Structures are given as structure tokens and as C-alpha cells.
A and B are shown apart, each in its own frame.
Chain A
Amino acid sequence: MSGFFTSSIGRKYAMALSAFFLMFFLIMHVALNAVSLFSEDAFNQASHFMGTNPLIQFLMQPVLMLGVVFHFVMGFILEIKNRSARVVKYAKNNGAANSTWMSRNMIYSGLFILIFLVIHFLDFWIPEINTKYIVGDMSGLHDGSFRYFHELQHKFIPIWRVALYCIGFIFLALHLLHGFDSAFQSLGANNKYTKGLKGFGKAYAILIPLMFIIIALFHHFNH
């Protein structure tokens, strides 16, 4: 396997594998968030479990961070390399004639997702880390009851934040609309199941971000 990951195809595999990992994480994330639509108590219990379980906190969370950082860094490295493969640009290029906007602009949708992630981390992850590991309060309680559901609702009171999150999820959908199929192709999976997979990929790319949008809107209108 020496030199595999420094080759162009090896880098494709690496991008695809990290994409699969992140796409699986998105399912977990949206499923947990969707619980908040139905039951405050169940959402609190699930959040407390996720936020205090050592396996999730000290193994899964760092692995996830690594996956996110790797996918972004690798994406930018590949973009720089790819741009350097054409020194003189075309005076006229009709990209729309042969490819989708999403496929040609993964770097821009990815960049917007990165900006969104920074905001999302500042909103939720950093305050959580501060409460648990700097203040040292692992109880998950505030005024005698679990704080998670109320914190979630409180965050989505300002309409500007809801709008910002919706825009972030739209870019996520655009990224996934190409990324899902692309990951399979990169792993060499182009066969009789590809047509079905493309359909599933479209559904995944639209439904997952849509679910996140519904959750944000739900808490904005129901706080």
C-alpha cells in the first residue's frame, strides 16, 4: 500500500471515505435532533447520554473532529492542486453544458459549510465544552431540570440565526447532491445499482438538510 494515499486515486479514496463517515454522522445528528420535535424529556435524556458518555466524548468526538478537519483540509489541498493543473484559463468555458453547478462548485459549497460550522461550534459546541470541562458541571442541570432542550429552543429565538442556519443547510444540500454519488464513484462503485443509488442520494441530500431546517423553524415558532 506504500504510496497509495499520495497518489491521485488514493486521495480520491481518502476523500470518499471521510465523506461517508461524515454522511453517517449527519444521520445520527439529525435523528437525535428530530427527537426534540416529539419529546422534551427524551431529547434531554439522549443529549445527556451523548454529552457525558466517555466513549462518545473521548473516542467518537475526537474521531469526528479529525474526520471533519481531514475532509476540509484535503478538499482545499485538492482544489489548489487541481487549479494548478490549468495555468492559462479558458476565455470562454461553458461548464453548464456538461456538468451540474453543484459538481463544479464543491469548494464554494464546502467553504460556506465551513463558515456555518464555525458559527455552529460557537453556538453549541464551545459553550457545552465550557460548561462541562472548564466550569466542571457535568450534571446537565439548570435550575433543577435538564438544560439541553431549553438551550436548543433559546438558540433559535432570533430569526437571523434561524435564517443563517437555513442558508447553511441549503449549502449542505447542494454539497451532498454531488458529494453522495461522487463518493460511491470514487470508491469504484459504478454498476447496475448506480441508478438506484443516485435516486437515494438525491433523497438523502434533500431530506437530511430539510429535516435540520424543519427542526430550526419548529423551535423558532414553538419557544
Chain B
Amino acid sequence: MNLTLKIWRQKDSKTKGQMVDYKVTDISEHMSFLEMMDVLNEQLVNSGDEPVAFDHDCREGICGMCSMYINGEAHGPDRGITTCQLHMRMFNDGDTITIEPFRAKAFPVIKDLVVDRMSFERIQQAGGYISVNTSGNTQDANALPISKHAADEAMDAAACIGCGACVATCKNSSAMLFVGAKVAQYALLPQGQVEAADRVKNMVAQMDLEGFGNCTNTGACEVECPKGISLENIARMNREFLKASIKG
């Protein structure tokens, strides 16, 4: 298929960017979206132009690195997938495809489609962990009885790969689905409950500090999340935060 691509080009974080049009031809419907981008870049390199910078790593939907806003949706028009899992069969011959970076003040553009998502890392560092004695006397996690229901819910929350699609999709650039998933993942398990109050307070404080917007419950994040993280995690975080704030 032959396509017109409208791609955001930005030299670096300090330079103003703009949308630039490119044509690609003979694209197979069996290609992944990133393979199509590879074809474009090969074309650009051959003609002496600067290739389009974009994030990618595992190309298996696991690492959460790919981060494109395609035709107005994070990770493109398909559901439950990352950009690397998007296939060209989702498009038609002659289509114009708009490709932009994930946009949020807390995700500044580094170059073209590559954004800095270190704000997520800083939120994790603020409390997204459990403190374990690793002096050689570490208790086996399986020694603690955990209900199947709690374990399943924690596992569902832990499926979050921190790609940032929730932030990119949210009209307010809110990170609450990401933070909610991380808070819930630990709050549901006995190992995480020991530091639950400090965790939620510190992670929410860091989230606010990073400049993410407020959640207004549109539910767009849940729909676009490649891992199907539920809004229930935001509700749980809200409860955990209230509980922690009352405790002081």
C-alpha cells in the first residue's frame, strides 16, 4: 500500500518542531508499524536526510518503550497493543497517517517522536517498591498466605509497563492510571501493606510535582492502555490516599 505520513519532526528539546509530510510506497499489510517506520528511515538515509527518531526496544509489547500517537490515539487505532504490535493491515491504501510524540508537559520531547518519560521513574523511586532485608534471611514470599483474588488483582495491576499511553491519551495529561496501578499492585499484597501509607503519599506528591494534570474520570486511559489496566486502580489509589492522609 502507498501512504502519506504526517510526522512530527523536532531537532531537539530546545528547537520548535513541526509536522512534515512523507510518502512511503509498497508497504506490506503484514508489516508492523515500526517496520514501516524502518522503511521510511531507510528511504530518508538513502536520500541523505535525517531519519525519524522514535523509541523502541523489545518490539514484543513488553518493554513499554514505543510511544507514538497515531491518528489521534496512543499506540494507534487497535486495542490492547503497543505501537510495535500495531500492524499495517489496520490501514488502507492511500491513507494519510498522522504520527506524533506522546504529549505532556511532564513528557518533554527529546527529538522527533522520542519523549523523556523519566518523570515515571521518579514517581517509582518515590515509593514504588517494598523494603526487604537482603542480608541472607529474606523470607520466601510464598510463606505468606495471599488470597487468589488479591493475587490476581495485584498481578493485573502489575501488568502496567509504564509506557505512558494513559498520560498521552488523557485530555488532562493525568498519570493517575500509572500511579494507581503501581500503588494498587503493592497495596493488595501483605508485603506492600507495611509501607502503604508512605508509598501512596510520596508517589502522589511526586506525581503532582512532575506537572501531570488531574484525572477527570473520562476513562480514555483505560481504553487506550495496552495492558488493560482498570480504572479500579485509580479508585483504590484514592481510597489508599484518603486512608493514609487520615492516619497522618
Contact = CB atoms under 8 A, between A and B. Distances in A.
A221 interface: no
Nearest to B70: A92
B130 interface: no
B212 A190 contact: no
Describe B's contact surface by its main secondary structure.
Answer: mixed
A88 interface: yes
A13 B100 contact: no
Contacts of B245: 1, 3-4, 10
Contact of B103 (A9, A11, A90, A95): A90
Contacts of A34: none
B208 A186 contact: no
Nearest to B241: A9
Interface stretch (B29-37, B38-46, B137-145, B219-227): B219-227
A95 B220 contact: yes
Given A8-B214, A12-B215, A104-B171, A86 B73 contact: no
Given A85-B104, A86-B105, A98-B224, A8 B235 contact: no
Interface string B191-207: 00000000000001101
A142 to B, nearest CB: 46
B238 interface: yes
A103 B172 contact: no
Given A8-B208, A91-B19, A103-B219, 8 more contacts: A1-B248, A4-B242, A8-B204, A91-B100, A92-B6, A92-B72, A94-B72, A188-B238
19 contacts: A1-B245, A8-B207, A9-B242, A12-B215, A82-B216, A84-B211, A85-B174, A85-B212, A89-B103, A90-B69, A91-B8, A91-B100, A92-B98, A92-B100, A98-B220, A99-B219, A103-B216, A103-B220, A185-B217
Interface of A: 1, 3-4, 7-13, 78, 81-95, 97-100, 103-104, 106, 178, 181-182, 185-191
Interface of B: 6, 8, 17, 19, 69, 71-73, 77, 98, 100, 103-106, 109, 169, 171-174, 176, 204-205, 207-208, 211-220, 223-224, 231-232, 234-239, 241-242, 245-246, 248
